[in-house]
Chains A and B, each alone.
Chain A
Amino acid sequence: MIGIIDYGMGNLFSVEKALERLGVEAFISDDHERLRQADGLILPGVGAFKDAMDLLNENGLTKMIHEYVQTGKPFLGICLGMQLLFESSEENGLTNGLSLLPGKVIRFSGVDRKGESYKVPHMGWNKLRFDQDSPLLQGVDEDYVYFVHSFYVDADQSDVVLAEANYDVNVAAVVGKENVFGMQFHPEKSSVMGMQLLRNFTKLTEKGSTADEFYNLSRN
């Protein structure tokens, strides 16, 4: 059973339905106790970083999320939810994030190295390039996924990047460290590949999953 954290931000419905289509049981909740018992948690999110952190702090969800991650159960942030996993964001002034992953979230400059301007938000389909082996990327080919965002984590400045996409800069697209994962794009809106990636995440929540094997292998 996968819990989708409801904190008043984001497209929860589409994420829930995508999981349903995969045949995975999921629920949307803001109830700490229910969320704690889930086999995996998803933190979606659309909107502003500061508003999201304020809501997580006010609802006591920041603490709950930290405790949950400590248990070793899989945790996935999507879009803004991924950005929140990092230490800080420069959106609307500097705001602290959940600090589950090292790094900071910065804005696309809108001007490339040659001084030419480019469009922000980064909106549309962009191709992933895989950087590291991960259970999330197992059995998946590099393909296009759907992005919509104005802020990003610089893939060149981070060692938790599993896959990246290029949009003037190298954008961290899939990130992960131990049981904490994030996707900057919307897997629930990314057609076949998005569903494969979500499927891989949900596999991690199954007991004795390939992820356990994967981690045992990488630890040995």
Chain B
Amino acid sequence: MLTKRIIPCLDVKEGRVVKGIQFVELRDAGDSVELARFYDEQGADELVFLDISASHEGRKTMVEVVKAVASELAIPFTVGGGINSLEDMKRILRAGADKVSLNTAAVLRPELITEGANFYGSQCIVVAIDAKYDEEIGTWRVYTHGGRKATERDVISWAKEAVERGAGELLLTSMDADGEKKGFNIALTKAVSEAVSVPVIASGGAGNADHFAEAFLDGKADAALAASIFHYKETSVAEVKESVKQRGVCIR
């Protein structure tokens, strides 16, 4: 049986992992390979690297990060952030990443999803959606530019469109839940997961190990992603997996 996946997310800025400061036992807490190995050994099923570099130069170094991780580790990983063209996708995938994640660029030009899927297959193309509930329209609205800009799109119809255009997976972040540490946004996750035929990664809101099982059991997510609770060692991937397993969820 296919297992549910636990995915730590690492923010990379100018080629260095940031927020990794709690890993005192590491020689270099900013080193992507060391952190990736740390998570791999804990049983992480996949990793997501999010490039938050502001500069063009910074983004170029992402390719080096990808190469280094792919050289050293046998773990699947996705790269997102700053991927705006088929050329960007090629650079990252050729360097050894398994998937690329498109966010703002896909909203601005949805054809990009299809171009990537036609070239590499849907399984390489993740569409990341930042969602925030909007009382006015009574549903979730899609945000772009790192959550700074509201769009006209509603999340469910955009999720469906992204899949129709060739997305092989959705990375769904609840802006309402993000940073609150009160658990994943179950209503949002369930609504999207039931609306599409591809796997959905729940993101935003994980505050403890027990929150993950809810995302799978109630939210119908296929994978769950978290950043800060792993970085700051509030829990570990191993602890999360144990908690999820005890609730009867199939896990590696």
Give me the interface of A with B, judged by CB distance under 8 Å: 11, 13-14, 17-18, 20-21, 46-48, 80, 110, 117, 119-127, 144, 146-150, 166-167, 186-192, 194-195
Contacts of B72 in A (CB 8 A): 17, 21
Measured CB to CB, the nearest residue on chain A to B4 is A124
Q: For chains A and B in complex, what number of residue pairs have CB atoms within 8 angstroms?
A: 98
Question: Is B139 an interface position by the 8 A CB rule?
Answer: no
Cα of A209 to Cα of B67 in the assembled complex, Å = 33
Cα of A120 to Cα of B1 in the assembled complex, Å = 14
B198 touches A126 (CB 8 A): no
* Interface locus among B92-100, B177-185, B205-213: B92-100
Contacts A13-B96, A124-B223 given: A191-B40 contact, CB under 8 Å? yes
Partner of A190, one of B5, B74, B122, B222: B74
Some 23 contacts from A to B, beta carbons below 8 A apart, are A11-B93, A13-B94, A17-B71, A46-B120, A46-B121, A46-B124, A48-B121, A80-B121, A117-B197, A119-B198, A121-B122, A123-B2, A124-B46, A124-B199, A124-B223, A125-B2, A125-B3, A144-B3, A144-B252, A148-B76, A150-B122, A189-B98, A192-B74
Measured CB to CB, the nearest residue on chain B to A143 is B252
- Which of B67, B74, B94, B122: most chain A Cβ within 10 A? B74
- Which of A14, A18, A186, A192: most chain B Cβ within 10 A? A14
Contacts of A17 in B (CB 8 A): 70-72, 96
Interface of A: prevailing SS = mixed
Question: Is B38 an interface position by the 8 A CB rule?
Answer: no
A124 touches B75 (CB 8 A): no
Partner of B123, one of A117, A123, A194, A195: A123
A124 touches B45 (CB 8 A): yes
Cα of A150 to Cα of B123 in the assembled complex, Å = 8
B74 touches A120 (CB 8 A): no
User: In the complex, given contacts A11-B98, A20-B71, A46-B120, what are 12 additional A-B residue pairs having Cβ atoms less than 8 angstroms apart?
Assistant: A11-B96, A13-B96, A21-B74, A47-B121, A80-B121, A120-B197, A121-B123, A123-B123, A123-B169, A124-B4, A189-B98, A191-B40
Partner of B3, one of A46, A121, A124, A190: A124
B223 touches A148 (CB 8 A): no
Question: Is B119 an interface position by the 8 A CB rule?
Answer: yes
For chain B residues 108-123, which have a beta carbon within 8 Å of chain A? Answer: 118-123
B1 touches A121 (CB 8 A): no
Question: Is B168 an interface position by the 8 A CB rule?
Answer: yes
Contacts of B4 in A (CB 8 A): 124
Contacts A47-B119, A124-B222 given: A166-B1 contact, CB under 8 Å? yes
Cα of A166 to Cα of B45 in the assembled complex, Å = 18
Cα of A20 to Cα of B222 in the assembled complex, Å = 33
